[in-house]
Amino acid sequence: MNNISIRKMNELSKKKKKGFTLVELIIVIAIIAILAAIAIPKFGEIRENANVKSDIANAKDIQTAATAAVSNGTISLGSDVTIASVMNGGVIPTAKGSAAKAAGGVFTAHVETDGTVTVKAGGLEVFPTPVAPYTIQQ
């Protein structure tokens, strides 16, 4: 009889080792929650930085197209340029950065009398020298 009870005890102890305890599961869930709380704000920052970099790249493309239009004689020096006239049927970009979106989100370009082109997104200068809030912090 003693052998039977020892055998059953061994079987019961083996069955208990199959799953996780409630405490172990709560600890794992807590660790995942902490990691998520750290990671989610970083994703927002990364997304905003990507949008700002996209705006700056679009502004560089617009500046290049405006400079080419000046050299072709399509537009004159000292004038405001519509983006549609500069892009020649290409896709007209809109600003994606939160500051430029809040200010209207449309790119505008101005050609100075000395030939330099300034590109703004919603009234904020994006190119050639982006200023805050368009400064990307490293």
Instruction: Report yes or no: 83 and 91 within 8 Å, Cβ to Cβ.
Output: no
Asked if residue 137 is part of any domain, the answer here is no
Query: Which of 87, 82, 122 has the alpha carbon at shortest distance from 105?
Result: 122
Asked if residue 56 is part of any domain, the answer here is yes
Asked if residue 133 is part of any domain, the answer here is no
pLDDT in tens, 80-102: 776 766 666 556 676 777 766 66
Give me the domain span that covers residue 19: 2-127
Asked if residue 134 is part of any domain, the answer here is no
pLDDT in tens, 3-29: 667 777 676 666 556 678 899 999 999
Q: How many domains does the chain have?
A: 1
